[in-house]
Amino acid sequence: MAGAASALFLLDIKGRVLVWRDYRGDVSAAQAERFFSKLIEKEGDSQSNDPVAYDNGVTYMFVQHSNVYLMIASRQNCNAASLLSFLHRVIDVFKHYFEELEEESLRDNFVVVYELLDEMMDFGYPQYTEARILSEFIKTDAYRLEVTQRPPMAVTNAVSWRSEGLQYKKNEVFLDVIENVNILVNSNGQIIRSDVVGALKMRTYLTGMPECKLGLNDRVLLEAQGRATKGKAIDLEDIKFHQCVRLARFENDRTISFIPPDGAFDLMTYRLSTQVKPLIWVEAQIERHSKSRVEMLVKARSQFKERSTATNVEIELPVPADASNPTVRTSLGSAAYAPEKDALVWKIKSFPGNKDYMLRAEFHLPSITAEEATPERKAPIRVKFEIPYFTVSGIQVRYLKIIEKSGYQALPWVRYITMAGEYELRLV
């Protein structure tokens, strides 16, 4: 078994201990001071985002949320990823109880915080981390703890992520298939990074304990069923499911079967590392007519079919830091100078497929320049957009069935959206 946590600390933004729970007796409160001094040392370091630090036989693992640091100290050879994941579950539990996790909510709920930490970890090993289970036997009312004698849900036949007895007048399920396109293009127009990160986001408002079944145009499933797959199936990669999905069932017959949580959750995420054609292509020509005037000619082209339309398009064009008095003309949309970003932001509310639009801009620069001017910033063009009713991968929801013993009819709604993720085109 991987090494265990020695103690868990909750610190304020200045490194002062708000709460700490000693699980194994092999570290002291002084470790919090050691941790914070190490954290300050790392602030100027290129690895300052590293959530793990080691010093004098103690490993420190931490996350920051709002104005609170959550830190685990361990003297053992522990599984850092597992304990960092545990800290994120602690955050989720505290938010479930206190609405927001911050210094003030911790100070107002010391008793409950200690009770939760005792239930969530025993002798340094994570135990219950499901908020719905914990709330079955740790209840709060005006910052007072009430312990009931009823066993937690995990001990009964109920699923931990869904309460029994839910009732809705109108039973509905909303499923959003959202794909984020990440593109990086170099100054020669070559794509040097391209992938798609997708998520099936659900919101369920269903009575009782419904059984849901979801079918996708998954090539493996369709071929197993002997169905034709020409042009209609996709190869899903790097799939991750919510804990409600029956993984054994999916491994056996690729069926996505689950009892959903109530409300909003991510049913599934996936990644496609295939080459993606840039959906919106931007070319920019920059001419310096003198040391005091710069002219920019920009062409934006939509490279998807005419039946689709991109909305809320934003093209962020970098300009010199000392630029002023812009004169801008566009064939569609509007553009505004954003000096805080050193950029010209071109906004187009509706950008149909297979269309070209132009922007011309002229900037004035200070006529007096320093002998040793600092090198010009080489920022890329950044693009944001949304394309409704469209997916890059071609994923399709073939069916979404909701079955509940009372036999009610539920209304499933499915929506597809493609969005720009990290979408950058370099100029130089």
Range list for CATH 3.30.450.60 in the chain? 7-155
Two tokens, residue 302:
């939509």
Two tokens, residue 406:
């009372």
Read off the pLDDT of residues 376-390 as tens digits, 9 standing for 90 and up.
557 899 999 999 999
pLDDT band at 207 (very low <50, low <70, confident <90, very high): very high
102 neighbors 66 (Cβ within 8 angstroms): yes
pLDDT the model gives residue 278: 93
Strand partners, 265: 202
pLDDT the model gives residue 146: 38
Q: Which CATH class is domain 7-155?
A: alpha beta
CATH pick for 280-369+377-388 out of 3.30.565.10, 2.60.40.1170, 2.40.160.20, 2.40.170.20? 2.60.40.1170
CA pair distance 57, 36, nearest whole angstrom? 16
Strand partners, 401: 213
Task: Look up the CATH superfamily of 172-276+392-425.
Answer: Mu homology domain, subdomain B (2.60.40.1170)
Range list for CATH 2.60.40.1170 in the chain? 172-276+392-425, 280-369+377-388
Other CB atoms within a 10 A radius of the CB of residue 267 amount to 20
pLDDT the model gives residue 148: 43
What does DSSP assign to residue 168?
Answer: -
Low-confidence winner among 45-59, 278-292, 369-383 (lowest mean pLDDT): 369-383
Count, residues in the chain: 428
- List the alpha helices (DSSP H) in 170-306: 219-224, 247-253
pLDDT the model gives residue 103: 86
Q: Which amino acid is at 42?
A: K
Q: Which amino acid is at 372?
A: E
pLDDT the model gives residue 156: 45
* Average pLDDT of the chain to the nearest whole number: 84
Other CB atoms within a 10 A radius of the CB of residue 403 amount to 11
pLDDT the model gives residue 38: 78
Question: What are the strands, taking DSSP E only, across 66-171?
Answer: 68-74, 121-122, 125-126, 139-141, 144-146
Based on its alpha-carbon atoms, the radius of gyration of the chain, rounded to whole angstroms, reads 27
